[in-house]
C-alpha cells in the first residue's frame, strides 16, 4: 500500500501523494482474450522505464499482455492511459479483480490496489492528509460514496476477500 496511505489498526491516514490510479498500472490483472483466465499487463521489458512512464501525457505506453495459463502474449503501444474504470487502459480488457457489490461494481487493477481499498474501508477513522497543490483530490477522496459508506463495510470487505482468493499466486 506504499505511497498513498498509512494504515494501522482502525486508522487510515491519506498522505495525498497519489491523486489517481496511475500508480497501479505497472501490473494490471486482466481477463485473457484467448482463454478468459487471469493474464497480466506489465510494462514491456525491452523499453527503458523512463520511456514507459504511465501518466506522462502524450508519451506512448509500451505494454505486454501475458497469460501463463494458455501462453498468450501480445505487445501494444497506447497513446495514453485513462484510468478509472474496470478495464485495462492499454488493451481494453476487463480487469480480473471485479465483482458486484452493494448494487455497484467493486474493482481493482491489482492486489496493491485491492489492499489500499481494504485498508480504507476497514478503517473506523479516516484522516485526510495535508492539501498539496499537485494533488487537489487524492485517490481515496475520489472513491464512490457507496464504497465510503460505513453501512456497506461488511459486504465490501467480504467481496474484497473473495476477490483476493481469485488472484493468482505470486510467481
Residue with the bigger pLDDT between 164 and 84: it is 164
* E strand spans, the chain: 5-8, 11-14, 28-31, 38-43, 61-66, 73-78, 97-101, 104-108, 125-127
- Average pLDDT of span 31-43: 97
All structural domains of the chain with their residue ranges: 5-166
Q: Is the pLDDT of residue 36 over 50?
A: yes
Q: How far apart are CA 121 and CA 146, in angstroms?
A: 11
- Non-local (6+) Cβ contacts of 105 within 8 A are 86, 98, 99
Q: Is the pLDDT of residue 54 over 80?
A: no
pLDDT in tens, 106-133: 999 999 999 999 999 999 998 887 777 6
- Average pLDDT of span 136-161: 93
Q: Where does 46-137 have alpha helices with state H?
A: 111-122
Q: Is the pLDDT of residue 21 over 80?
A: no
Amino acid at each position: 500500500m506504499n505511497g498513498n496511505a498509512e494504515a494501522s489498526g482502525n486508522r487510515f491516514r491519506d498522505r495525498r501523494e497519489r491523486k489517481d490510479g496511475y500508480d497501479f498500472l505497472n501490473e494490471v490483472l486482466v481477463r485473457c482474450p484467448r482463454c478468459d483466465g487471469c493474464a497480466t499487463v506489465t510494462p514491456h521489458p525491452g523499453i527503458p522505464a523512463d520511456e514507459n512512464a504511465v501518466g506522462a501525457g502524450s508519451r506512448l505506453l509500451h505494454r505486454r499482455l501475458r497469460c501463463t495459463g494458455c501462453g498468450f502474449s501480445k505487445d501494444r503501444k497506447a497513446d495514453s492511459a485513462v484510468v478509472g474504470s474496470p478495464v485495462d487502459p492499454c488493451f481494453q480488457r476487463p480487469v480480473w479483480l471485479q465483482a458486484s457489490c452493494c448494487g455497484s461494481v467493486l474493482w481493482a487493477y491489482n492486489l496493491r490496489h485491492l489492499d489500499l481499498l481494504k485498508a480504507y474501508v476497514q478503517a473506523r477513522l479516516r484522516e485526510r492528509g495535508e492539501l498539496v497543490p499537485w494533488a487537489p483530490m487524492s485517490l481515496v477522496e475520489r472513491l464512490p460514496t457507496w464504497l465510503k459508506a460505513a453501512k456497506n463495510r461488511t459486504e465490501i470487505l467480504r467481496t474484497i476477500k473473495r476477490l483476493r482468493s481469485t488472484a493468482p499466486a505470486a510467481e
